[in-house]
Amino acid sequence: MQKPTMFKAKGDNIDLQLAQWGSGRKTLLCIHGLTANCRCWDRLIPALSGSHRVLGLDLRGRGLSGKPAEGYSLGHHVKDLRALLQDLELQRVTLLGHSLGAYIAVAFAACYPDMVERLILLDGGGQLSQKRWDSIETVIKPSLERLKNVFPSFEAYTQPLKEAPIFQPWTEFHETYFQHDVREVDQGVRSRIDPAIIQQEIADIRKKDVSVHYRDIACDVLILRATRGFLGQQDLLLPLHTVETMLQSILNARELAVADTNHFSILFDRHTDRDLAIRDFLK
């Protein structure tokens, strides 16, 4: 597993943590999901870093980035990305977003089309019904509860995760990813994420009509969707009718269903078709 270089840069009045892999002439900026962090991209790096310098971002409130009590919305994240690119003196990048990161990438690409060369949406970015959001919230509730808990050790923190079907088989990648997620406290360890900010994020995304951004996206777009949701079809983040709307509304969009994947395995597991599609799209 290729180890990244870690450094900080400026967001919108906040410090943001970044991981960097590779040193290509062009830059690919990766934006993680709701409760994830910048090390979620480790498994994908071989498919990404051949032609690009890859930057993985800890969103505000996650990982080692700053954690204000308020300010968790698509608008705040878009401002962070704009300030970050200015700080790094990057005029144009390719964006890759997973889950919540895909929604952020869509909003940024629509607001700043001249700054986005290409856009990759990994199981996210679609306009969903409130009923589907209800299903998704029900499924992720145990994960959000975990954020509140203190565990006596990192081993105790990861034990239930090692038993979860979505993280099978458990690998060095998972170990590194969750190490970046925890901090030491007096009683042991806990997640770096305050669950209150996640509730802010969820409330914000549920109010948004992300589809209003589709026609303002000027770059080529690759949509990679999982064929299963978190647990089944009712919690798919990119159901077929949603993807069809995206393909009709986004001028230069294409789509690939990544077979036998769910919302997590499309990112965390090895998958040849996914990697080939990304490499071809980046050429």
| One-character DSSP codes across 148-173 | T--BSSHHHHHHHHHTSGGGPSP-HH
CA 113 to chain centre: 20
- C-alpha 69/C-alpha 72 separation (Å) is 9
Quick one: pLDDT at residue 130? 96
Quick one: pLDDT at residue 241? 96
Tell me, yes or no, if 191 is annotated catalytic.
no
- C-alpha 99/C-alpha 51 separation (Å) is 24
Mean pLDDT, the chain, rounded, equals 95
Low-confidence spans in the chain with pLDDT less than 50: none
Quick one: pLDDT at residue 47? 84
Helix axes 195-207, 100-111, angle to 10 degrees: 50
Quick one: pLDDT at residue 156? 96
CATH number for 5-282 (one of 3.40.50.1820, 3.30.465.10, 3.40.50.970, 3.40.50.720): it is 3.40.50.1820
For 277, list phi and psi in degrees, rounded to 5: -65, -40
Quick one: pLDDT at residue 7? 98
Quick one: pLDDT at residue 253? 98
Quick one: pLDDT at residue 211? 98
Catalytic residue, from 49, 65, 99, 265: name it. 99
- Burial of residue 110 (CB within 10 Å: 0-12, 13-18, 19+) is buried
Q: Tokens 């990766």 belong to which residue?
A: 30
